[in-house]
Structure 1
Amino acid sequence: MTQKETVYVVSDSVGETAELMVKAVASQFFGQEVQIKHFSYVEDKQDINNVITVSKYSHSIIAYTIVLQDLKQYLDDRAEEEGILAVDLMYPLMDAFTQKFNMQPNREPGQMRKLDENYFKRVEAIEFAVKYDDGQEVRGLKQADIVLIGVSRTSKTPLSMYLANKQFKVANVPLIPEIPPPEELFKIPRKKCIGLIISPEKLNDIRRERLKSLGLTNSANYASLDRIFEELTCAENIMKKIGCPIIDVSNKAIEETADIILAMFNKRGSFA
């Protein structure tokens, strides 16, 4: 039976990075079955002493990712005293960054975990924006950080996705004269709601281009100025009834509108 060698993975965070690196190296030694044992969230010298105690009698290697300088130095010193091979998996690359970019590392444990959390928050927000796009599932309005309302072609969907990439949960609701707005729209805090308006001429141009891209004629009611005036009047009446802020997006890029919204919400502390 092949003997399993042991590698102690030591980290002041979860230790995922160290484990992946150990597995990558171990895979190159086909005759060796490596047993990985974890010491995660190491935060003081006693934790280091515990690692040294269990590893010095087991013919093992310590592979570590410790960014706190005092703990790293203590582990190096104790390992040398006991004749244990301890490998700092981060130091060579961290030292290269320091030399190349003339910067010092933060030396804060758990930074990768924070990056992962940000990534998953962004994914969650994007999924939310897709699920609650264009008035779908109105129950999501209560869960949203931001609710966008406006007539068709006022950039509600692309604006929702842009804000979702900044980790905000955004729902949007189209305002159509023939369809009463959902009751939930009047029950959410009005500070979460943003009305989007646009000039009739600009909207007419946008809708005409939209019809052209679909192979339809410009005579469709969707792009007529009479219909557009009716929709905009209805939408503005609903926005006034809600009492929400209104942004004219006629000549604004998505990024510009998003900046206005975020500045507005941050000023009022709605994201606290």
Structure 2
Amino acid sequence: MQKIGGVYLTDKPMVLYIVSDSVGETAEQVAKAVIGQFDTRNYELRRFPFTTEKAQLQEVISEAKNENAIIVFTMVINGLREFLVEEAEKANVRTLDIMTPLLNLISKELNMKPKKEPGTIRRLDEKYFKKIEAIEFAVKYDDGKDPRGINKADIVLVGISRTSKTPLSMYLAHRNIKAANVPLVPEVAPPKELFNAPSEKIIGLTTNPRKLIEIRQERLKALGLKDGANYASMERILEELDYADKVMRKLNCPVIDVSTRAVEESASIILEIFKEKGYKVGSTK
């Protein structure tokens, strides 16, 4: 055994076969974590993903025997795990089951039977990353920052200031839905992308003017400004609501009054509208 640069190198590399009825990432990461505890680089990891047939397992066992390899595996499909262990034992091939001991322990603790479905971790990861992607999308295309988001969005929310556009966008993002929102201001023409987008994916938001005055006055106080500013005046609010109504009519989109509704309720109505239209949005499961 030689030591080069503080790392021991054996004459013959240790070979680990990573076998799984799914991708095999779990077993590979565990194997790497364990090997990392030793001062050696003289090893090989060979992954055999989606091994779901007994014939495939026989081939893996035969190859492992020829290379004196250790089989590290995660198998949840009924019958395959038992077959692998029995056949490997007959061939004098060493095996290590990464998943079953913990699976049995948790099953006993929860008094539940495991699903025995391969790839559940990956599906959960994909769902998680879709949610993160939708949240990042909502932040990037919030408040009309970039009109290009209108074409990329599953849902586009339009309305005047303080009509819950941002909270709704974030709530929908947690349902894996990419939502962009565009403010409607009389002095600023809406982006052309809004009128080129399918009306089926646009939702207008409106509110009661008296309720909006209260909300805007509170907003001004929070900013340390006087609550009598034009932003919170009835005249200004009626002007904005009238302008927004004209734009929404031109867009031919559904309009929801959010004045007495919680964000969750408004989001539920939006999703129901899309369901009735048959317009598919991101996974809401």
Class of the TM-score when normalised by the shorter of the 2 chains: over 0.9
State the one-letter code of the partner of 1:51: V
Q: Aligned ranges for residues 1-272 of structure 1 at < 5 Å?
A: 1=2, 2-3=9-10, 4-30=13-39, 33-271=42-280
Deviation at 1:33, TM superposition (A): 4.4
Name the stretch that deviates more: 20-29 or 78-87: 20-29
Shift in CA distance, 32/193, structure 1 to aligned 2, threshold 3 Å: closer
* Rounded Cα–Cα distance in structure 1 between residues aligned with 2:67 and 2:152: 53
* Rounded Cα–Cα distance in structure 1 between residues aligned with 2:78 and 2:95: 15
* Rounded Cα–Cα distance in structure 1 between residues aligned with 2:37 and 2:137: 43
Which aligned segments of 4 or more residues in structure 1 are displaced greater than 6 angstroms? none
SS of the residue corresponding to residue 57 of structure 1 reads helix
SS of the residue corresponding to residue 67 of structure 2 reads coil
Is contact 1:134-1:172 (8 Å) kept? Answer: yes
Give the number of aligned pairs. Answer: 272
Deviation at 1:143, TM superposition (A): 1.6
Deviation at 1:169, TM superposition (A): 1.0
Deviation at 1:228, TM superposition (A): 0.5
* Rounded Cα–Cα distance in structure 1 between residues aligned with 2:21 and 2:187: 60
Is contact 2:157-2:179 (8 Å) kept? Answer: yes
Deviation at 1:261, TM superposition (A): 1.1
* Rounded Cα–Cα distance in structure 2 between residues aligned with 1:31 and 1:219: 73
- Deviations along 1:63-96, one digit per CA (max 9) or x if unpaired, are 1011111221211111111111211111011112
- Deviations along 1:33-79, one digit per CA (max 9) or x if unpaired, are 44222111112112111211111133321110111112212111111
Shift in CA distance, 32/83, structure 1 to aligned 2, threshold 3 Å: farther
> Which runs of no fewer than 5 residues in structure 2 stay unpaired?
3-8
- Deviations along 1:4-56, one digit per CA (max 9) or x if unpaired, are 32211111111110011112222334468442221111121121112111111
State the one-letter code of the partner of 1:147: V
- Deviations along 1:80-133, one digit per CA (max 9) or x if unpaired, are 111112111110111122222222222222112211211221122122212211
* Rounded Cα–Cα distance in structure 1 between residues aligned with 2:48 and 2:134: 34
State the one-letter code of the partner of 1:116: D
Query: Normalising by the residue count of structure 2, what TM-score does the alignment of the two structures yield?
Result: 0.90
Name the stretch that deviates more: 34-43 or 198-207: 34-43
Name the stretch that deviates more: 96-105 or 196-205: 96-105
Is contact 1:5-1:32 (8 Å) kept? Answer: no
Is contact 2:206-2:255 (8 Å) kept? Answer: yes
Deviation at 1:232, TM superposition (A): 0.7
Name the stretch that deviates more: 208-217 or 121-130: 121-130
* Rounded Cα–Cα distance in structure 1 between residues aligned with 2:165 and 2:126: 27
Deviation at 1:181, TM superposition (A): 1.7
Is contact 2:217-2:228 (8 Å) kept? Answer: no
Query: Normalising by the residue count of structure 1, what TM-score does the alignment of the two structures yield?
Result: 0.94
